[in-house]
A and B are shown apart, each in its own frame.
Chain A
Amino acid sequence: MGLMKHTSTSGGREGISIVPKEMFFDRRRVQRAMDDATNIALREAAQRIRRLAQTSMRYVTSTAQQRRLIREGKRKRLTPYTPSSPGQPPRAVRPRPWVRKFLYYSYNARIHNAVIGPAGFPAGSDAPHTLEFGGRVKIRNVRRTIRRLGDSGEIRVGWSGGSTTHAVSDARGITQMVSYALLRTQAQVSRANRLQEQLYGALERAVAVAPRPFMGPAMLAEAPRMARLWAIRSTA
């Protein structure tokens, strides 16, 4: 305030002092105070959203990793894990929980702008976006192998003779007798790859991924508390 009562420490007498500047409305000062409060509040909101988004993704361990740990004696039993339901935040699957681990925020004080989200994924990787909004992704057929010259490969299906004929289950679950041999010519390689596709299907297949949002819910959860951040700062 412009007019304030104060107590002199030297003479012990009370007096009135007037600070003329404080008697006027200083718009820049108010704006500076608001900018400071905004910086702190936006940072804090960004931190909270990041933390909420991270903690919404539950840690699980992949089956392969569990088996590896059991082999190494670091785990006792296998716990099957299920992927998250559509509409729920995704799981952070060990040993590669990258979406949860590489979730950052960036704040630009000049323009009062905070950006929160996963970062650091290889160029072309659309995993965070697919998880947040859903989409189509290509999945590699793990049963398929690309045969090359000199490899051992399929040369015949449906013949039960010979020592290199084995029964295999095809993509439809039907048992087939498949004969294998050393692939000596390019024609044999092509035939082996064709038989492979006939037995196990294409190399890749596109699947639809339902959205599993983790950033949007975090922001919606934090939104009601944001105004209070300014309230606290501006009255502090």
Chain B
Amino acid sequence: MAAGATGIRAGRAYVELGVDGKPLDAGLKGAEARLKAFGAGVAGIGRGLMTAGLAAAAPLGLSVKAFTGMGDSLAKMSRRTGVSVESLSKLQFAAERSGAGMGDVEIGIRRMQRTLYDADRGLSTATDALHDLGLSMGDLRGLAPERQFARIAGALHGVGDASRKAALAQVIFGRSGTMLIPMIDQGARGLERLYATAERLGIVMSGKDAAAAEELSDRMGELWMQLKMVAFKVGKELQPALEKLAVSLQGWLRGAMDWIDRNGPLIEGTAKLTAGVVALGAALYGVVNASKAAAAGLGAYRAVAGFLGGGKAAGLAARGAGTAAAVSAAGGGAGAAAGGLGAGLTALGGFAGAAALTATPLLLVFGDLARRRRAEFRQAKAEAAHWADYLAAKEKGQLEANDRAREEGDRRRLEAAGRLQQVEEAIASARADADAEEETAGQKRIKQLQAQMKAIEGAFPKVGDWAVGVTQERMDELNRKADAARAALSAQIGAIRRAEANAAASAGLARRRESLSRRAAGIVERYGIDQETADRLAEYQDYLRQFDRLPKGLGDNRASFTKFQETLASDIGGRIDETFRTMTGAAGTSAFRPFEGGPGGGGVMRQLVDSSERIARNTDVIARKIQANPSFAP
């Protein structure tokens, strides 16, 4: 947790921790200085060691070089000639003592081997040479090369004629044979002595050392090749950049050449100007040399005069004369110098005009470019200074803003802490006030509620009257509705009763219809029946079928009604027959006319049909009413 330092200091009971960085800085600077001194000392020691190392390494390096060079050459020569390294070392010593070189020895041995091969093949030149030496291939075959060389050298040593010896040496050892004659002349014993001397001096190289030297030489060669490959790879990596540089330089040079083509006189003038400057320099050089010569003349004269004069007066006289003489002696040199200067100035004057004419546009161009570059540089410098000032001001402003923000934060935290106490005190006092206010508010609320209760109590009678009125109206309405319902119920009951009565009437009618039917059947049977009567009977039967389709649900009457229907439906035919029979019995007289009015028939059939129609209509009406009343639904 942190608070502002100013706020904490305001409490005047604080502890402050700080760090004095000066001792650390001083210590660090001292350490740095000591380290630098130590580094300088170490560097001096290093330089000394390096010098000593180099001094020691130089002879070592030379030794290594000699070791590798000599050993490698001897080892490889040994491989080429088949002569052992030790023998080659001895031969080298003997050859060098005799004025020949190792190369002569190698060539001689190789040629000797070829000659021996030829002799072995029987070539006459080789066999003749060996024969002249008193040797044969049988003597030499199977010997080591150095032994063959020794035998041949011994034989040559025995040849007395020098020309013959040289000729034979050339035949056997080739052109280097003559170089080897001094060594051969020492004879076998002389050679042995030289070999012994070499061994005694310790300069005979062993085959193992030569192999080691060859190995080292090969390694050094490999190393050198690797180093060259490193350089090659560096060059390879630099190739793209250098190629680009070369291309750009080519373009620039192309442009320069074009510019030179366009400005030939300017170049010529510049060259003349340069030549003039050179001539001026030469003239000045001549003047200086002439002055030196004059000074030398003066010095010499003074020396001679001083030596000859001796006294002061004489010295003064001599000095004056010397001055005059020096002037006169220097006249020649000065004249020459003046001539050179005149020539230089003349040349300079000669070229100056042309150079001035041609250099003017060039100077103008370069001057303009320089002015522009200077202006750009000044502008860039001004911009850089501007941005530096801007960044510095920004940084300073930022730091100041940070300080201000920090101080503001401290001040606000302090204010907040101060306010906290004020707020707590305010809360305590507010709580006390709130308690009092709460009590007052409760009492006010109780009074309000009491007033409301009184108002409600006062409103009770009105509400009761209103409720009674509303209830009475409601009761009246309900009574009216009950009466209406009751009336409707009574109407329904009456309708049912009427329906029952109608049903009873229908039953009576049906019964009567039965009787009538029976009578009608008798009539039809007795008197036959015409088409009109048959149609009416069919119509009557349709009515009966409609009656059959009446819905069930007539309550207690339904059973009888249904029974009636069933009876009527099942016995309709028989009943009709019976009716006809009755009618026929009644119509036993001629006056009986069942379908005609009058005293005889009385229109019995007509009455029967009419009554049937009426029954059917009534039945239809009853059925419709029953259908319309849902309370009679089955």
Chain A positions near chain B (C-beta within 8 angstroms): 24-25, 27, 30-31, 34, 38, 42, 45-46, 49-50, 98, 102, 104-108, 111-123, 126, 128-129, 131-133, 214-216, 218-219, 226
Contact = CB atoms under 8 A, between A and B. Distances in A.
Nearest to B10: A119
Contact of B15 (A30, A117, A133): A117
Nearest to B416: A120
B13 interface: yes
Contact of A49 (B15, B18, B36): B15
Interface string B6-18: 0111111111111
Contact of A27 (B3, B19, B29, B413): B29
26 contacts: A27-B31, A30-B28, A34-B24, A49-B15, A50-B1, A104-B3, A105-B2, A106-B3, A106-B4, A108-B5, A113-B17, A114-B18, A115-B5, A115-B15, A115-B16, A117-B15, A118-B11, A119-B10, A119-B11, A120-B417, A121-B11, A122-B418, A126-B12, A128-B11, A129-B11, A131-B13
B35 interface: yes
Contact of A120 (B3, B12, B15, B24): B3
Interface residues of B, number: 37
Nearest to A95: B424
Contacts of A216: 15
Contacts of A25: 31-32, 35-36
Given A113-B17, A119-B3, A102 B28 contact: no
Given A42-B17, A113-B16, A131-B13, A27 B8 contact: no
A117 B4 CA distance: 10
A93 to B, nearest CB: 14
A27 B15 contact: no
A55 to B, nearest CB: 15
Contact of A215 (B2, B15, B35, B420): B15
Given A106-B5, A115-B8, 8 more contacts: A42-B17, A106-B410, A118-B13, A120-B417, A122-B418, A123-B418, A131-B13, A219-B15
Nearest to B402: A110
Contacts, number: 121
Interface of B: 1-5, 7-19, 21, 24-25, 28-29, 31-32, 35-36, 39, 410, 413-414, 416-418, 420-422
B438 to A, nearest CB: 18
Contacts of A31: 24-25, 28
A106 B31 CA distance: 33
Given A25-B31, A27-B32, A117 B14 contact: yes
A28 B581 CA distance: 152
Going nearest first, the 8 A-B pairs with the smallest beta carbon separation are A120-B417, A117-B14, A104-B3, A128-B13, A129-B12, A132-B13, A119-B7, A128-B11
A206 B35 CA distance: 66
A116 B421 CA distance: 21
B471 to A, nearest CB: 56
Contact of A218 (B15, B35, B413, B418): B15
Nearest to A50: B1
Nearest to B9: A115
Contacts of B3: 104-106, 119-120
A121 B16 contact: no
A116 B15 contact: yes
